[in-house]
């Protein structure tokens, strides 16, 4: 239901924003014409989807409840995503070599590698290898940061 509602509003917002662009005529469609059609189409499809979910919900209410899936931990997933976001934020100021090392340390820790020596060793090897591969070999100008590497 949540996804259907989000898509409905996304379609509606697209329609409103498209109306602020030149729509033109059918003979010479303006920049807003195509997005306007798409916004309306998405809103209509999402509306039908929501309606079909309502009918299904009524049907399901009549049937016996199925067992719920085993609850899965979302903490690791959220921490991983947060770590990636933090690494992206720090990429320019700290530079690629340091951020790649810190990212590996953090992700290995988040995903359950508890032994610090192993964690640090894997991170150091990975960061060094990726630095030499991307920066030294492929000559890709990755952010240097305050380290200057």
Residues that bind another protein (CB under 8 A): 2-3, 7, 10-11, 14, 17, 21-22, 25-35, 38-39, 41-42, 45-46, 48-49, 52, 72-74, 76-77, 80-81, 84-85, 87-88, 91-92, 96, 100, 103-104, 107-108, 111-113, 122, 126, 130, 134, 138, 140-143
Residue 148 backbone class (left: φ over 0; alpha: ψ -120 to 50; beta: rest): left
Strand partners, 24: 29
Please, what is the minimum distance in Å from the beta carbon of residue 94 to another protein?
12
Nearer to another protein, 55 or 67 (CB): 55
Q: Tokens 């209509």 belong to which residue?
A: 44
Report residue 149 as tokens. Answer: 């590497």
Cα–Cα distance between 42 and 104 in angstroms, integer? 40
Q: State in angstroms the smallest separation of the CB of 81 from another protein.
A: 6
In whole angstroms, the minimum distance from the beta carbon of 29 to another protein comes to 5
Nearest to another protein of 111, 147 (CB atom): 111
Distance CA 9, CA 129 (A): 46
By beta-carbon proximity to another protein, the closer residue of 41 and 60 is 41
Tokens of 126: 């990975």
> CA–CA distance from 81 to each of 74, 75, 77, 105, 110 (Å)?
11, 10, 6, 14, 11
Nearest-approach distance from CB 84 to another protein, in angstroms: 6
CB nearer to another protein: give 96 or 98.
96
């Amino acid at each position: 239901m949540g996804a259907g509602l989000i898509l409905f509003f996304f379609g509606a917002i697209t329609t409103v924003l498209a109306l602020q662009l030149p729509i033109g005529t059918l003979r010479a469609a303006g920049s807003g014409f195509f997005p306007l059609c798409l916004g309306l189409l998405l809103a209509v499809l999402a509306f039908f989807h929501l309606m079909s979910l309502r009918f299904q919900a009524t049907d399901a209410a009549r049937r016996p409840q199925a067992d719920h899936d085993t609850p899965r931990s979302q903490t690791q997933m959220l921490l991983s995503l947060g770590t990636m976001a933090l690494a992206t934020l720090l990429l320019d100021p700290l530079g690629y070599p340091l951020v790649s090392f810190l990212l590996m340390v953090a992700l290995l820790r988040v995903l359950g590698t508890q032994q610090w020596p192993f964690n640090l060793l894997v991170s150091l090897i990975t960061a060094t290898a990726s630095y030499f591969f991307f920066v030294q070999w492929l000559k890709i100008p990755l952010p240097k940061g305050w380290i200057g590497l």
